[in-house]
Amino acid sequence: MGRLGKVQIVDPTQRVRSQTPATGVDGTIEQLTSLPIDGEPMVLFEASFPPGAVVAPHAHQDDEVLVVLDGALVIGDTTLGTGGCVFIERDTPFGFGAGANGCRMLALRPSRTDITR
């Protein structure tokens, strides 16, 4: 891992990798890295959900960005395909589902905070 001014580079062979089951749904969440940026942690997760999986409404204490890598993410009446992105403001309740071919996505937020319901 190197640092170039405000740019921080993560060598894929040196990332923190820990895999856990997704809470309340069939799927996995893998923490790819946790980086201190200006003293604050930024956490990047990769999550995979099988076709039709539903994640119940919940909220996080931090803003979060979700980016669809494969499959589809369904939020409300909106379906986001590969490359689709959504920003969720902190303390905003949201739930989502995986499309017919499942969903693999990245989630980025300032820290690994507890879920609030």
pLDDT band at 46 (very low <50, low <70, confident <90, very high): confident
- Note the pTM of the prediction, 2 decimals: 0.76
Give the whole-angstrom CA distance, residue 18 versus residue 30.
6
CA atoms within 13 A on the CB side of 111: 10
Are 53 and 27 spatial neighbours (Cβ–Cβ below 8 Å)?
Answer: yes
Q: Which two tokens stand for residue 70?
A: 């494969």
Give the whole-angstrom CA distance, residue 29 versus residue 20.
5
pLDDT band at 5 (very low <50, low <70, confident <90, very high): low
CATH fold label, 17-116: Jelly Rolls (2.60.120)
Least confident stretch, 15-19, 22-26, 31-35: 15-19
Residue 1 has pLDDT above 50, yes or no: no
Residue 8 has pLDDT above 80, yes or no: no
Q: Write the burial class of residue 32 (CB in 10 Å: 0-12 exposed, 13-18 middle, 19+ buried).
A: middle
Residue 28 has pLDDT above 50, yes or no: yes
